[in-house]
Structure 1
């Protein structure tokens, strides 16, 4: 009788450095992989943009798996019901998966593991998606870290395990082909995003190699300039596990050893990978960070329910050019530059006093890299209630930030074309420009570009104050 292994795929759609898949292939015999489009609303389901990426990624991965002799099954339903049923139908000797870390995910996995073991299956889970497991990095007292710098120091001292070498498959040749995956109906924005991204493991590592060869030399500085191609853009590939974070870590380290002049960019990149682990550290050790503040630093805030302002923010019609550029980039591409993410989040939470959760939910639905830890972790950081967060009274001024990081207005002109003819001096503050300057540039405030929806000075002052009851007059 031929042995069979079942691999439950989640955020690990790759062949390389995939511990669960590697363990299954090492056994020989028949290997079946399954992906379940989750319908259990107790878990956080992917937003529309992420779902679009996922569909493309699964299609590519099905072809890779078939070449390795692995059949991919894709089903829709609640995993706690489907996986035990599939295991009973296929009768594998072992079931493998790589671990997840959100409270609802861990609860689901523990329930399934217990049920499968009770039914006589051997179930093993692995560390497959982080540099180190959240419980492997502890303070001196044995608790979780709240500050990034000592967390990063401790993680580096522990050391990141080497990625697994891609083994030659010992699995039986399968009759599976890419046709085993039938792509479901596209989300409504799929058409406009098609062609903007290369998706899958090969594309992800291609981006990484391009980053090392071309971008890392100026990464420490240019990553803050939204008008430049200065970031790695690896976040969606990490989100779906198309690339291994440990492979990126060791690949960057090795490259840095060979090119010592690039140490600044390499170190900044490694720091960003640690930040990702830091967010997962919080996700694992705290109550659901998508709903609960990690700290009570902003418990005094009375959030403002302003649907008109929120709608203008989502559409890139706030009257603040760099914010509007970011929101339009997000809607058009499913991605936004990291510096601009901070600016749009600050305007929403500090100037408009709209609950960070509403902004986080919008990002969750529209970002292709919407990550279950990094998305809420970053929003809480800007709002002032996250771990290692800037003080609540720190408010990013979108005009000052725009002039600093997009001095020539390159980013603005790309995403807010109605301001394309504004002089550099005024492109970040068209509302302050002399009337004749605006007229010459073809800009009519309130007609083809909005007036600012909030007064920056007074709303920033209010954000820094502990009292904010009388604020209705601050909104345009």
Structure 2
């Protein structure tokens, strides 16, 4: 008797069972003809990438937990997650033939690497006579459709983006797949016959090469936790209605926002489900905050950056990027290392960078503070360098959002009020005047009083000894003098903007004073 035909769903980002149209199609087709089809949901683990991908230990752990949870949820549907080791091209060349695949589905992606990869797999599928269906379900709106509705160009302002999507219907989340019957279990292939566990999800040891870098497991990966966190975040409808992102605290000891961004990044949580649940609440709560500062506004920032990134393959770099100002940033490895490792001598900045390294998540306003400090505010180092550090350390690192927000905070694109600079001292004091956040993440300064914990250089040497932390010995001197350097950097930005205006023949959104003529917006660096 000839073996069944295999239907394959390829998990990449959308690591969930709920609201997954590509997965749902495979299941519905199999359920309709159980004697003909079997299903294999796969995740391809390219082991060669483990060595050079810019991914920190905390994010590898989040992925490992997510794959384990996905396998658990698929087993409830009478299947499992098949984790196949190898490059996508070599994997599909084998399984298209050996598994007798007739249909391959996956969630579409906008990233240049993904587009190139998917084009290659489409070519292999065509040669093998395998039908391919791709679905846009990682975002609420299809970026290509938004661009089409805007005359073929990505909207360059948030307000313009809102006006375009107003006329686009949001697809409803699709139902969860039906459970497969026992007769639909696929037969073991040659690899499984040799090793029954060859397709098991990876262990933590397999993914995390530097376990000493693992921090507190504060945010557990997976669809189950993502849905639980969504329920918890939306349980207080008054809080949801009143939510304004700029009014949340960047340095609270417990997160003052939802921390749903890692779950959206990996697709453990459907943005469309989040949107649907949120809209239901806002209909009941007639008085509520509005975009860009509302909770809905935060979801739409994600959509805005995805749309812009979909139209520019060089979105993550300055050169060749149609959106990005060309600014003569400087290279300073000493300053970059100090910033990266939380050793700048500015306790608020250092606390943020240490929290990022330990936990993999920091508040969006904290991201604003350290991004401004690295670029136009203090160190005059390219936003691309900061982007690389965030790419490694953030649980919610997302190609489009990471690049878009770094351009925004460095005033290289989308935001042009470069004269608005975050103070590395005063900004943190607003929401944490006693310095509890600094004491947690910069424990060297734990005994410093509130009066000088943000500015330890104001303490006398004898006081520093009394507090158990001498500058230059136990904690670094500040690497720049903010009060002086930010003024010089504003002059540099003014000059750079002038040159960019001349190159673009007066098309800059700024007047001669450098002041932005447009309405002020608020940028989101992560939920």
TM-score under structure 1 normalisation? 0.89
Structure 1 counterpart of 2:438, from 406, 412, 422: 412
The corresponding residue for 1:203 is: 225
Q: Distance in 2 between matches of 1:295 and 1:394?
A: 24
Match of 2:215 among 187, 193, 200: 193
Residue in 1 aligned with 2:163? 153
Corresponding residue number in structure 2 for 1:31: 39
CA contact (8 A) 2:9 2:104 kept: yes
Q: Which runs of 5+ in 2 are unaligned?
A: 31-36, 189-195, 496-527
CA contact (8 A) 1:70 1:171 kept: no
SS of the aligned residue for 1:95 comes to: strand
Residues 178-206 of structure 1 deviation map (CA, whole Å, 9 limit, x = unaligned): 97324224231477336322221110011
Q: Which residue of the partner structure matches residue 107 of structure 1?
A: 116
Whether the aligned pair in 1 keeps the contact of 2:150 and 2:164 (CA below 8 Å) is no
Contact 2:372 2:409 in 1 (8 A): yes
Question: Offset at 1:347?
Answer: 1.1
Aligned residue number for residue 226 of structure 1: 251
| SS of structure 2 residue aligned to 1:360 | helix
Alignment of 1:334-373 (within 5 A): 334-350=360-376, 351-373=378-400
Aligned pairs for 1:61-460 within 5 A: 61-138=70-147, 140-170=150-180, 172=182, 173-174=184-185, 180-183=200-203, 184-189=206-211, 192-193=214-215, 195-214=217-236, 216=240, 219-220=243-244, 222-227=247-252, 228-260=254-286, 263=289, 268-292=294-318, 294=321, 298-301=325-328, 303-350=329-376, 351-386=378-413, 388-433=414-459, 438-460=464-486
Identify if the C-alpha distance between structure 1 residues 98 and 300 changes in structure 2 by more than 3 Å, giving closer, same or farther: closer
Q: Quick check: 437-446 or 271-280, which moved more?
A: 437-446
Question: Quick check: 1:348–1:354 contact (8 Å CA) kept in 2?
Answer: yes
Shift of 1:319: 0.9
Compute the displacement of 1:311 (Å): 1.3
Aligned length, in residue pairs: 465
Structure 2 counterpart of 1:5, from 4, 7, 26: 7
Deviations 1:11-57, CA, capped at 9 Å, x for gaps: 0110000111000011123110111124687xx94612332321221
Q: Secondary structure at the match of 2:140?
A: coil
Decide whether the 8 Å contact of 1:93 with 1:122 is kept in 2.
Answer: yes
Residues 38 and 45 of structure 1 are in contact (CA less than 8 Å); yes or no, is this contact kept in structure 2?
Answer: no
| 2:371 and 2:383 in contact (8 A); partners too | yes
Contact in 1 for aligned 2:312/2:322 (Cα 8 Å): no
CA deviation profile, 1:369-389 (whole Å, cap 9, x unmatched): 111211111111111223x22
The Cα shift of 1:156 comes to 3.4
Deviates more, 1:418-427 or 1:307-316: 418-427
Give the Cα separation in 1 of the matches to 2:403 and 2:327. Answer: 20
Instruction: Single out whichever of 410-419 and 262-271 deviates more from structure 2.
Output: 262-271
Alignment partners' CA distance in 2, 1:140 and 1:20? 27
Q: Deviations over 1:154-195 (max 9, x none)?
A: 223313211112232346553799973242242314773363
TM-score, structure 2 normalization: 0.81
Cα shift readout 1:233-264 (whole Å, capped 9, x = no counterpart): 01111111100000001111112333445556
For 1:180, what is the secondary structure of its paired residue? coil
Whole-angstrom CA distance in 1 between matches of 2:494 and 2:281? 51
* More displaced stretch, 103-112 vs 427-436: 427-436
- 1:25–1:171 Cα contact (<8 Å) kept: no
CA RMSD of aligned residues (A): 2.8
**Following the alignment from structure 1 to structure 2, what is the Cα–Cα distance between the partners of residues 165 and 263?**
30
What SS does the aligned partner of 2:304 have? helix
